[in-house]
Structure 1
Amino acid sequence: MTARKPSRKSEPAAPAAELPLAEEPIAATLSSPTAGPPAKKRAPKKAAATGAAAAAPKRAKKAAAPPKPRSAGSQELRPATPLHDADRGRLLAGEHHDPHGLLGAHQVGDGVEIRVLRPFARSVTVLAKGLRAPLHSDGDGLFSGVLPLPSVPEYRLLVAYEDNEIEVHDPYRFLPALGELDLHLIREGRHEELWTALGARPMEHQGVAGTRFTVWAPNARGVRVCGDFNYWDGTGFPMRSLGSSGVWELFLPGTGEGALYKFDICRPDGSHTMRSDPMARHTEVPPATASVVTAAHHEWRDQEWMAKRGSVPVHEAPFSVYEVHLPSWRPGLSYRQLAEQLPAYVKELGFTHVELMPVSEHPFGGSWGYQVTGFYAPTSRMGSPDDFRFLVDALHRAGIGVIMDWVPAHFPRDDWALAEFDGRPLYEHEDPRRAAHPDWGTLEFDYGRAEVRNFLVANATYWCEQFHIDGLRVDAVASMLYLDYSREDGQWSPNEFGGRENLDAVSFLQEMNATVYRRNPGVVTIAEESTAWEGVTRATDHGGLGFGLKWNMGWMHDSLVYVSKEPVHRKYHHNEMTFSMVYAYSENYVLPISHDEVVHGKQALVSKMPGDWWQQRANHRAYLGFMWAHPGKQLLFMGQEFAQGAEWSEGHGPDWWLLDPAYEASGDHRGVRELVGDLNKVYGATPALWQRDTRPEGFAWVDGGAAEDNVFAFLRHDAKGAPLLAVSNFSPVVRHDYRLGVPEGPRLWAEVLNTDEARYGGSDVRNEEPLKPEDVPSHGRPSSVSLTLPPLATVWFKPA
Structure 2
Amino acid sequence: MALHDTSLPEPSGPGRYGTAPPLDPADRGRLLSGAHHDPHALLGAHPVPDGIAFRALRPFARAVSVVIDGQRRALTSEEDGLFSGVLPLDAIPDAYTLLVSYDDGEHEVHDPYRFLPALGELDLHLIREGRHEQLWKALGAEPMTHQGVAGTRFTVWAPNAQGVRVAGDFTCWDGTAFPMRSLGAAGVWELFLPGIGEGARYKFEITSRYGHRFLKADPMARATEVPPATASVVTSSHYEWGDAEWLTRRGDVPVHQAPFSVYEVHLASWRPGLTYRQLAEQLPAYVRQLGFTHVELMPVSEHPFGGSWGYQVTGFYAPTSRLGTPDDFRYLVDALHRAGLGVIMDWVPAHFPKDDWALARFDGDPLYEPGDTRRAEHPDWGTFEFDFGRIEVRNFLVANAVYWCEEFHIDGLRVDAVASMLYLDYSRDSGQWAPNVFGGREDLDAADFLREVNATVYRRVPGVVTIAEESTAWDGVTRPTDSGGLGFGLKWNMGWMHDSLGYIQHEPIHRKYHHNEMTFSMVYAYSENYVLPISHDEVVHGKQALVSKMPGDWWQRRANHRAYLGFMWAHPGKQLLFMGQEFAQGAEWSESQGPEWWLLDPAYCAAGDHRGMQDLVRDLNTAYRAAPALWQRDTDPGGFRWVVGDAADDNVFAFLRFAADGTPLLAVSNFSPVVRHDYCLGVPADAVAWCETLNTDAACYGGGDVINPDPIKPEDGRIELTLPPLATVWLTPLPV
Whether these two folds match at TM > 0.5 is yes
Within the alignment, does 1:558 sit opposite 2:499 as a pair?
A: yes
Distance in 1, Cα, partners of 2:82 & 2:4: 28
2:362 equivalent in structure 1: 421
- Structure 2: unaligned runs, 5 residues or longer: none
2:721 alignment partner, one of 784, 787, 799: 787
Distance in 1, Cα, partners of 2:721 & 2:210: 79
Q: Is the 8 A contact 1:321 1:636 kept in 2?
A: yes
- Structure 1: unaligned runs, 5 residues or longer: 1-22, 31-69, 776-782
Distance in 2, Cα, partners of 1:756 & 1:422: 62
Distance in 2, Cα, partners of 1:464 & 1:628: 28
Within the alignment, does 1:29 sit opposite 2:8 as a pair?
A: yes
1:119 equivalent in structure 2: 59
TM-score between the two structures when normalised by the length of structure 2: 0.98
1:128 equivalent in structure 2: 68
Within the alignment, does 1:377 sit opposite 2:318 as a pair?
A: yes
Residue 201 of structure 1: how far off its partner (Å) = 0.3
Superposed, 1:159-178 pairs within 5 Å as: 159-178=100-119
Distance in 2, Cα, partners of 1:109 & 1:665: 92
Within the alignment, does 1:185 sit opposite 2:126 as a pair?
A: yes
Once the two structures are overlaid, the 10-residue window that deviates more, 500-509 or 131-140, is 131-140
Q: What do you get for the CA RMSD once the two structures are aligned?
A: 1.2
Distance in 2, Cα, partners of 1:423 & 1:665: 61
2:634 equivalent in structure 1: 693
Distance in 1, Cα, partners of 2:160 & 2:607: 61
SS at match of 1:274: strand
Distance in 2, Cα, partners of 1:26 & 1:256: 29
1:97 alignment partner, one of 37, 41, 57: 37
- For residues 696-723 of structure 1, the C-alpha deviation after alignment (integer angstroms, 9 at most, x for no partner) is 0000000100001000000000000000
Within the alignment, does 1:508 sit opposite 2:487 as a pair?
A: no
Q: Structure 1: which amino acid aligns with 2:310?
A: G
Q: Structure 2: which amino acid aligns with 1:352?
A: T
Residue 163 of structure 1: how far off its partner (Å) = 2.8
2:154 equivalent in structure 1: 213
1:631 equivalent in structure 2: 572
1:265 alignment partner, one of 206, 211, 219: 206
Distance in 2, Cα, partners of 1:562 & 1:314: 29
2:172 equivalent in structure 1: 231
Please identify runs of 4+ aligned residues in structure 1 that moved more than 3 A: 23-28, 70-76, 664-667
Residue 111 of structure 1: how far off its partner (Å) = 0.8
Q: Structure 2: which amino acid aligns with 1:537?
A: T
2:17 equivalent in structure 1: 77
Q: Structure 1: which amino acid aligns with 2:183?
A: L
SS at match of 1:234: coil
Q: Is the 8 A contact 2:55 2:85 kept in 1?
A: yes
Distance in 2, Cα, partners of 1:75 & 1:574: 98
Distance in 2, Cα, partners of 1:755 & 1:118: 74
Residue 552 of structure 1: how far off its partner (Å) = 0.1
Superposed, 1:521-532 pairs within 5 Å as: 521-532=462-473
Distance in 2, Cα, partners of 1:163 & 1:332: 41
Within the alignment, does 1:194 sit opposite 2:155 as a pair?
A: no
Q: Is the 8 A contact 1:110 1:150 kept in 2?
A: no
Q: Structure 1: which amino acid aligns with 2:8?
A: T
Q: Is the 8 A contact 1:661 1:667 kept in 2?
A: no
- For residues 504-530 of structure 1, the C-alpha deviation after alignment (integer angstroms, 9 at most, x for no partner) is 000000000000000000000000000
Residue 122 of structure 1: how far off its partner (Å) = 1.0
Distance in 2, Cα, partners of 1:417 & 1:27: 47
Residue 28 of structure 1: how far off its partner (Å) = 4.5
- For residues 280-309 of structure 1, the C-alpha deviation after alignment (integer angstroms, 9 at most, x for no partner) is 000000000000000001100001100000
Distance in 2, Cα, partners of 1:723 & 1:692: 11
1:703 equivalent in structure 2: 644
Q: Is the 8 A contact 1:28 1:130 kept in 2?
A: no
1:799 equivalent in structure 2: 733
Distance in 2, Cα, partners of 1:752 & 1:71: 98
1:728 alignment partner, one of 669, 682, 695: 669
Q: Structure 2: which amino acid aligns with 1:26?
A: D
SS at match of 1:443: strand
- For residues 3-46 of structure 1, the C-alpha deviation after alignment (integer angstroms, 9 at most, x for no partner) is xxxxxxxxxxxxxxxxxxxx99637425xxxxxxxxxxxxxxxx
Distance in 2, Cα, partners of 1:497 & 1:568: 50
Q: Structure 1: which amino acid aligns with 2:662?
A: G
1:761 alignment partner, one of 702, 706, 709: 702
Distance in 1, Cα, partners of 2:191 & 2:605: 64
2:300 alignment partner, one of 346, 359, 367: 359
SS at match of 2:8: coil
Q: Structure 1: which amino acid aligns with 2:628?
A: P
Distance in 1, Cα, partners of 2:4 & 2:159: 47
Distance in 2, Cα, partners of 1:610 & 1:337: 38
Distance in 2, Cα, partners of 1:275 & 1:387: 26
1:247 equivalent in structure 2: 188
1:39 equivalent in structure 2: none
Residue 146 of structure 1: how far off its partner (Å) = 1.0
Distance in 1, Cα, partners of 2:205 & 2:194: 19
SS at match of 1:342: helix
Residue 419 of structure 1: how far off its partner (Å) = 0.4
- For residues 194-216 of structure 1, the C-alpha deviation after alignment (integer angstroms, 9 at most, x for no partner) is 00000000000000000000000
TM-score between the two structures when normalised by the length of structure 1: 0.91
Distance in 2, Cα, partners of 1:75 & 1:24: 27
- For residues 455-486 of structure 1, the C-alpha deviation after alignment (integer angstroms, 9 at most, x for no partner) is 00000000000000000000000000000000
**739 and 95 in structure 1: CA distance in 2 versus 1, 3 angstrom threshold:** same
Distance in 2, Cα, partners of 1:446 & 1:674: 47
Distance in 2, Cα, partners of 1:429 & 1:407: 17
Residue 109 of structure 1: how far off its partner (Å) = 2.8
2:83 equivalent in structure 1: 143
Distance in 1, Cα, partners of 2:714 & 2:681: 10
Distance in 2, Cα, partners of 1:310 & 1:72: 77
Q: Structure 2: which amino acid aligns with 1:784?
A: R
Q: Is the 8 A contact 1:453 1:508 kept in 2?
A: yes
SS at match of 1:468: coil
Q: Is the 8 A contact 1:658 1:666 kept in 2?
A: no
SS at match of 1:745: coil
Q: Is the 8 A contact 1:704 1:713 kept in 2?
A: yes
Within the alignment, does 1:649 sit opposite 2:590 as a pair?
A: yes
Q: Is the 8 A contact 2:454 2:486 kept in 1?
A: yes
1:20 equivalent in structure 2: none
- For residues 713-765 of structure 1, the C-alpha deviation after alignment (integer angstroms, 9 at most, x for no partner) is 00000000000000000010010100000011011110000000000000001
Q: Is the 8 A contact 1:28 1:72 kept in 2?
A: no
Distance in 1, Cα, partners of 2:214 & 2:266: 33
Q: Is the 8 A contact 2:4 2:71 kept in 1?
A: no
Q: Structure 2: which amino acid aligns with 1:29?
A: L
1:45 equivalent in structure 2: none
Q: Is the 8 A contact 1:75 1:148 kept in 2?
A: no
Distance in 2, Cα, partners of 1:607 & 1:74: 90
Distance in 1, Cα, partners of 2:607 & 2:118: 61
Q: Is the 8 A contact 1:286 1:363 kept in 2?
A: yes
Q: Percent identity?
A: 77
Q: Structure 1: which amino acid aligns with 2:545?
A: A
Within the alignment, does 1:577 sit opposite 2:511 as a pair?
A: no
Q: Is the 8 A contact 1:660 1:666 kept in 2?
A: no
1:614 alignment partner, one of 540, 545, 555: 555
Superposed, 1:588-603 pairs within 5 Å as: 588-603=529-544
- For residues 401-460 of structure 1, the C-alpha deviation after alignment (integer angstroms, 9 at most, x for no partner) is 000000000000000000000000000001000101000000000000000000000000
